[in-house]
């Protein structure tokens, strides 16, 4: 990072901390990629992005908690399906919070629901901190292992892997839609 003036490296770490507030996955993957460079100690990059990840998820609980104090939310909470969901979340809070870290588009609604349903905040915070540690560790480990094994060749294979994933996903969606219509 020769383009950053001496003494201004704290800006990189600040950006790593703020990144998860904007887009979590991109921030973690970008940090893992940055940790491969020799210009930054990987541990400092790891700590900065993990601290940002945990901080960005910590406040989402309170949005759910604040929502339950409104009249419309109290009516919503009285529904049978919501009551069943409340019992499921309260009885399996740790498992739920650790699992949703790895499920696309499930994390934020679940974090809001835990605040809405009144999960103990310490249990919430410890669960998201643990799942964040797992997530960041898996991404960093994958980048470091793949970086050592494949090195520069990885850059040439990534577009093919991405196209393969997209084609597979579209194929599965097409087949589901086609066969789902026939059974109805």
Rounded CA-CA distance 79/70 in Å is: 15
> What's the token pair of residue 28?
């973690």
C-alpha closest to that of 110 among 126, 129, 122, 94 = 94
- Per domain, the residue ranges of the chain are 10-151, 154-184
- Cα-based distances in Å from 98 to 4, 113, 154, 181: 37, 14, 30, 36
What digits encode the pLDDT tens for the residues 31-58?
A: 888 888 766 788 889 999 999 999 999 9
Considering the chain, what percentage of its residues have pLDDT values greater than 70? 84
* Res 51: pLDDT: 95
What digits encode the pLDDT tens for the residues 86-124?
A: 888 888 888 888 988 888 788 888 888 888 888 899 999
Helices 93-100 and 80-91: crossing angle in degrees, nearest 10, is: 90
Residue 19: pLDDT above 60? yes
Mean of all residue pLDDT scores within the chain: 81
* Res 55: pLDDT: 94
* Res 3: pLDDT: 53
Whether the full predicted model's pTM is greater than 0.75, yes or no, is: no
């Amino acid at each position: 990072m020769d383009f950053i003036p001496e003494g201004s490296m704290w800006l990189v770490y600040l950006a790593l901390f703020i990144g998860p507030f904007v887009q979590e996955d991109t921030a973690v993957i970008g940090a893992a990629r940055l940790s491969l460079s020799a210009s930054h100690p990987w541990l400092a990059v790891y700590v900065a992005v993990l601290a940002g990840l945990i901080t960005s998820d910590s406040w989402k609980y309170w949005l759910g908690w604040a929502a339950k104090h409104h009249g419309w939310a109290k009516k919503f909470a009285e529904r049978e399906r919501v009551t069943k969901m409340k019992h499921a979340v309260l009885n399996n809070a740790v498992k739920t919070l650790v699992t949703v870290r790895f499920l696309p588009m499930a994390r934020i609604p679940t974090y809001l629901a835990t605040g809405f349903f009144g999960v103990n905040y310490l249990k919430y915070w410890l669960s998201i901190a643990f799942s964040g540690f797992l997530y960041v560790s898996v991404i960093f480990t994958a980048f470091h292992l793949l970086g050592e094994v494949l090195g520069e060749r990885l850059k040439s294979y990534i577009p093919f892997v991405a196209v393969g994933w997209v084609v597979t996903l579209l194929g599965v969606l097409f087949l589901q839609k086609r066969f789902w219509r026939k059974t109805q």
